[in-house]
Amino acid sequence: MDIHALQQIVHKTRDARRKQTLPKFSPADRDQLIKKYHPDSRESAYRPIRFGPNAGEKTVVELATLLEGDSLIGEDVDLTPHYTTDVLVIGGGGAGCAAALHAHGAGAKVILATKLRLGDSNSVMAQGGMQISVAPEDSPVTHFLDTLKGGHMKNDHQLLKVMVEEGPAIAKWLIGLGVLFDRQADGNLHVKKGGGSSKPRLLTCSDYTGLEIMRVLKDEVINQKIQLLEFCAAVELLSDEGGKCSGAIFKDLDNHRYVVVAAKTVILATGGIGRLHIQGFPTSNHYGATGDGLCLSYRMGAALAHVDTFQYHPSGAVYPEQLIGALVTEGIRSEGGHLVNAKGERFVNELDTRDVVSSSIIRECEEGRGIRTMSGRVGVWLDTPLLDAEHGPGTVEKHFPAMMLQFERFGIDISKDPVLIYPTLHYQNGGVKIDTNSETNVGNLFVAGEASGGLHGRNRLMGNSLLDLMVFGKRSGLIAASRAASMPQGRLTVKHLERFRANAKKHGSLSGVISPMILPAYTRKAG
Amino acid sequence: MAQENANVIDQPEVLTPRMVTIEISGKTYEVPEGITVIKALWYTGQEVVRGAGCLGGFCGACATYYRTKDDPKVKTCLACQTAVQDGMSFTMMPPFPARKATYDIQKLQDPKQDLFNLYPEAPLCRNCNACTEACPQKIDVREGVWKAVFGDFKGVSEMFMDCVMCGMCTPVCIADIAPNLVALYVSRAQGAHFTEKPKGLETRIHEIENGRFNEEWNHILKMNEKELVDHCATVK
Ligand SMILES: Cc1cc2nc3c(=O)[nH]c(=O)nc-3n(C[C@H](O)[C@H](O)[C@H](O)COP(=O)(O)OP(=O)(O)OC[C@H]3O[C@@H](n4cnc5c(N)ncnc54)[C@H](O)[C@@H]3O)c2cc1C
Ligand code: SF4
Ligand code: SF4
Ligand code: FES
């Protein structure tokens, strides 16, 4: 059937649905729903990691294979450094830029190396906003409790406390750099309510929050003349005699040569894992989100936390085919957009946490109340025109210009037509375990941002990631800089590789792949 | 599970998959109609390193020039956001060596005047509108450059919120202006110097520094898991 004909059910039931209030599920019902329908609960997708610091723990097959992969680097590699620095930042997203700016500000010599261009990352795509408790009726403690509840009580309390308490100072820093957050008429920061939060707490820059923050941070990194190595992908870390981190080896993607950087401290800010397409899911992530930081740190002996849980954002585009997996911001649901099945019914409180909403969408589809596209995808409707009906014509266009444009390019006007959505692989809830200094159990190796784990527990609340990046980017930068000031450069070796390979042999073998992956293999092979 | 047939969207491109002929940097290829320009590159076996970033229309890495059949006009697009069509010809834009002024945003004394020192070419705009025509984000770039020069920094910052810094407005400028870089400077200056400092934020920072929440923290951090679960449930 024609898509417009199928959409009629959404238009027809709109007025009746507007009068409805949907209760949230009871804790027991939520648990049951997640257990039955959340992709994290599919046991067949998991296997234990065979060796290394997390031996015996389960993670998804795609990640386990990479963690047990071999390095591109041989033990006889030439380690004469091409560059020497105090602080080496790996990754040019939000966490990397924040870390580099703070380390530089603290007087350290900084090199920022990144796989693609500076800024090409998940961070530019953040649309929904950044959680910071600035409203009078809100508090860091409430922010803490909301996040804990969202994370199934598994969040590291110390990390979380640091994040919520340092949030307001971060907002001030960003404003000082020229970030244009949305304001109320009285000049105060405008706050929106996000899924799973009890108070409005999302700071936004229209629906371009990540883009606006990244435009400014990138510009600032360039203004501060921080040394950049673009199109350089980290392929191995370096360790001194004591096993502490002392630099990294990169592959220059332009000429395929190795670049060796000697550094007193290293901050990994390589982001998430979406491009591994776990369980075959489409993803909202950028091209380079291949979990490289996890493989690099794991080989060095850094422990990981919560790598058995991932976030499937409830609303990834299912139609048109060109936008598969692209994010349809949670902002639409925050402003009251309904989720509607093929029968025109709502089936979940749209502002419940992401894992609950995703599970319930999957349930609708598995039980036959979804809408199928001819390319074999299935989804439910997100009633975007409802926003104009509720808050006046022009609302969608005014509040979600980025999304309007994205769909308009394919002839779809989301202020008039509902969009078809299904969960998309969005975020890596866990990552390399860090302490409140952002340091791992490997000395002088810091990890910040999505590559790190513990803070978000088993499910991240929307808007908490941008804050995580800035807070732990800052902490890692400041601490790595002060550490570097008081110590000599460690020796450059790849001794940890010998250890890793020997350990693999003891447990059978390496998985047969080379990791990190660097870029997903989308190029079609001949034939 | 059973899916009623009534709930299936027909898609012409899937029902009758059609191959189209396109030209990439001067070479001819056959690719499925409707895939994006980036996917067409992958489909033809080409690796893309420079030219792909977010794949979501936000980073501007995939700036591309293209032409459609029998139309002499060269247009611009984001390769991750544009579908190929029969007879299309395209090439990705290489990085353009535009000059970016460097400045310390916080130390600017007179940002509106400083614009003329940092970007002296900005007032030389000749109104040709080529920048606006080049913008894949549909920003009225020319208007923005004029607003910047006339000191309407707020106006510029609002107009350029959509700017993905793809740089396509730059090589076309006959006055050698990099409009996106001018706009970025202006937006940052607007945010840092001409926007009210939010009072609520200052209050909250002071509250935290003065330990207003310490008692509550002590209370909470001592709880065992059960108590904490119950306490979380009381937050509405
Ligand atoms: C579409 C989308 C929307 C989102 N919306 C929100 C939101 O509204 N609010 C919110 O709080 N969060 C949001 N998130 C989550 C948040 O944006 C990310 O978690 C966050 O940006 C991650 O930042 P990061 O700096 O850790 O990683 P990234 O920003 O992804 O940066 C990682 C960097 O590391 C580089 N890199 C990777 N591997 C290597 C390597 N081997 N060598 C060198 N460099 C490497 C990458 O190229 C990249 O530059 C969203 C995420 C997505 C994908
Ligand atoms: S203003 Fe220039 S850099 Fe910005 S989106 Fe338009 S063409 Fe690209
Ligand atoms: S292209 Fe240059 S000269 Fe022409 S309108 Fe734009 S800024 Fe002015
Ligand atoms: S790859 Fe980022 S805009 Fe196309």
Q: Nearest CA to A175 among B158, B114, B155, B199?
A: B199
Q: Which residues line ligand 2 (CB under 6 A)?
A: B 60, 134-135, 137, 139, 141, 163-169, 179-180
ω into A516 cis (within 30 of 0): yes
Of the two residues A411 and A143, the one the predictor is more confident about is A143
- pLDDT at residue A369, as a whole number: 96
CB A494, CB A390: distance < 8 Å: no
Here the tokens at position A159 are 């990390």
Confidence of residue B2 (pLDDT cuts 50, 70, 90): very low
- pLDDT at residue B5, as a whole number: 66
Q: Which residue of B has its CA nearest to A372?
A: B8
Number of helices and strands in chain A (H, E):
15, 19
Residue A489 Cα, gap to closest chain B Cα (Å): 31
Backbone φ/ψ region at B129: left (φ over 0), alpha (ψ -120 to 50), beta: left
- B9 Cβ under 8 Å from any chain A Cβ: yes
For chain B, percent of residues with pLDDT exceeding 70: 97
pLDDT tens, position by position, A354-396:
889 999 999 999 999 999 998 889 999 999 999 999 999 999 9
- B137 Cβ under 8 Å from any chain A Cβ: yes
CA B159 from centroid of its chain's CA atoms: 12
Q: Ligand 3 centroid vs A363 CA: distance in angstroms?
A: 53
Confidence of residue B10 (pLDDT cuts 50, 70, 90): confident
Contact yes or no for A142 and B235 at CB 8 A: yes
What is the residue type of A102? H
For residue A135, the chain B residues in CB contact (below 8 A) are 200
For residue B43, the chain A residues in CB contact (below 8 A) are 524
Number of helices and strands in chain B (H, E):
10, 6
- B162 Cβ under 8 Å from any chain A Cβ: yes
For residue A286, the chain B residues in CB contact (below 8 A) are 53-56, 59
Contact yes or no for B217 and A141 at CB 8 A: yes
Here the tokens at position A218 are 């990138």
For chain A, percent of residues with pLDDT exceeding 70: 100
Helix (H) / strand (E) element for A48: namely: strand A46-48
Contact yes or no for B49 and A116 at CB 8 A: yes
- pLDDT at residue B1, as a whole number: 42
Nearest-CA residue for ligand 2 atom 2 is: B169
From A3-17, A381-395, A459-473, B13-27, the region with the lowest mean pLDDT? B13-27
Judge if the beta carbon of residue A115 lies within 6 A of ligand 1. Answer: yes
Here the tokens at position A401 are 């210009």
For residue A206, the chain B residues in CB contact (below 8 A) are 161
Q: Which residues line ligand 4 (CB under 6 A)?
A: B 52-55, 57-62, 78-80, 164
Q: Which residue of A has its CA nearest to B99?
A: A222
Judge if the beta carbon of residue A424 lies within 6 A of ligand 1. Answer: no
For residue A117, the chain B residues in CB contact (below 8 A) are 53, 59, 61
Give the nearest ligand 1 atom to A235 CA. Answer: 41
pLDDT tens, position by position, A97-143:
999 999 999 999 999 999 999 999 999 999 889 999 999 999 999 99
Q: What is the DSSP string of A19-43?
A: T--PPPPPHHHHHHHHHHH-GGG-G
For chain A, state the CA radius of gyration.
23
What is the residue type of A297? S
From A57-61, A476-480, B34-38, the region with the lowest mean pLDDT? B34-38
Contact yes or no for B184 and A172 at CB 8 A: no
Pocket of ligand 2, candidates B77, B168, B173: which has the most ligand atoms within 8 Å of its Cβ, to mutate? Answer: B168
- pLDDT at residue A353, as a whole number: 83
Residue B155 Cα, gap to closest chain A Cα (Å): 13
CB atoms within 10 A of CB A42: 11
Q: Judge whether residue A510 has pLDDT over 70.
A: yes
Q: Which ligand is nearest to the CA of B57?
A: 4
Provide CB contacts within 8 A for A420, sequence distance 6+: A317, A318, A319, A371, A373, A379, A380, A381, A382, B9
Q: Which residue of A has its CA nearest to B234?
A: A145
CB A214, CB A94: distance < 8 Å: yes
Provide CB contacts within 8 A for A307, sequence distance 6+: A54, A57, A59, A63, A294, A428, A430, A431, A453
Pick A165's closest partner by Cβ from B165, B198, B208: B208
Contact yes or no for A368 and B3 at CB 8 A: yes
For chain B, percent of residues with pLDDT exceeding 90: 89
| Dist. CA A178–CA B186, nearest whole Å | 9
Pick A168's closest partner by Cβ from B61, B138, B204: B204
Chain pair A-B, CB pairs under 8 angstroms: 241
Helix (H) / strand (E) element for B29: namely: strand B27-32
Q: Phi and psi at residue B127, in whole multiples of 5°?
A: 65, 25
| Dist. CA A482–CA A405, nearest whole Å | 45
Contact yes or no for A188 and B201 at CB 8 A: yes
pLDDT tens, position by position, A152-201:
999 999 999 999 999 999 999 999 999 999 999 999 999 998 888 999 99
- pLDDT at residue B146, as a whole number: 98
For residue B183, the chain A residues in CB contact (below 8 A) are none
A251-259: long-range pairs with CB below 8 Å, 24+: A251/A72, A251/A518, A253/A115, A253/A518, A253/B49, A254/B49, A258/A73, A258/A77, A258/A78, A259/A82, A259/A83, A259/A113, A259/A229, A259/A232
Q: Ligand 2 centroid vs A219 CA: distance in angstroms?
A: 15
Judge if the beta carbon of residue A95 lies within 6 A of ligand 1. Answer: yes
pLDDT tens, position by position, A274-331:
999 999 999 999 999 999 999 999 999 999 999 999 999 999 999 988 889 999 988 8
Here the tokens at position A510 are 């390496």
Best B3, B9, B106 member to test A by mutation, with max A CBs in 10 Å, is: B9
Q: Which residues line ligand 3 (CB under 6 A)?
A: B 125-131, 141-142, 145, 172-175, 177, 179
Give the nearest ligand 3 atom to B176 CA. Answer: 2
Q: Ligand 2 centroid vs B157 CA: distance in angstroms?
A: 13
Residue A525 Cα, gap to closest chain B Cα (Å): 6
Cut 0.90: pTM above it: yes
Contact yes or no for A222 and B102 at CB 8 A: yes
- pLDDT at residue B4, as a whole number: 54
| Dist. CA A467–CA A31, nearest whole Å | 28
Judge if the beta carbon of residue A311 lies within 6 A of ligand 1. Answer: no
- pLDDT at residue A70, as a whole number: 97
Give me the helix-helix angle, A157-177 and A464-485, nearest 10°: 90
For residue A161, the chain B residues in CB contact (below 8 A) are 217, 221
Q: Which residue of B has its CA nearest to A145?
A: B232
- B18 Cβ under 8 Å from any chain A Cβ: no
pLDDT tens, position by position, A11-30:
999 999 999 989 889 989 99
Pick B201's closest partner by Cβ from A161, A172, A409: A172
Dihedral sign computed on CA atoms, order A445, A449, A453, A456:
positive
Could you give the angle at the alpha carbon of A148 between the alpha carbons of A147 and A150, nearest 5°?
65
| Dist. CA A181–CA A468, nearest whole Å | 18
| Active site residue ranges of A | 313, 333
Residue range A344-357: average pLDDT? 92
- B206 Cβ under 8 Å from any chain A Cβ: no
pLDDT tens, position by position, A206-252:
989 999 999 999 999 999 999 999 999 999 999 999 999 999 999 99
- Pair type for strands A371-373 and A245-252: unpaired
- pLDDT at residue B178, as a whole number: 98
Counting beta carbons within 10 angstroms of the beta carbon of residue A163, is it exposed (0 to 12), middle (13 to 18) or buried (19 or more)?
buried
CB A9, CB A340: distance < 8 Å: yes
Alpha helices in chain B (DSSP H): 12-15, 37-43, 111-118, 130-134, 141-149, 153-159, 179-193, 199-209, 214-221, 225-234
Residue range B1-5: average pLDDT? 51
- B19 Cβ under 8 Å from any chain A Cβ: no
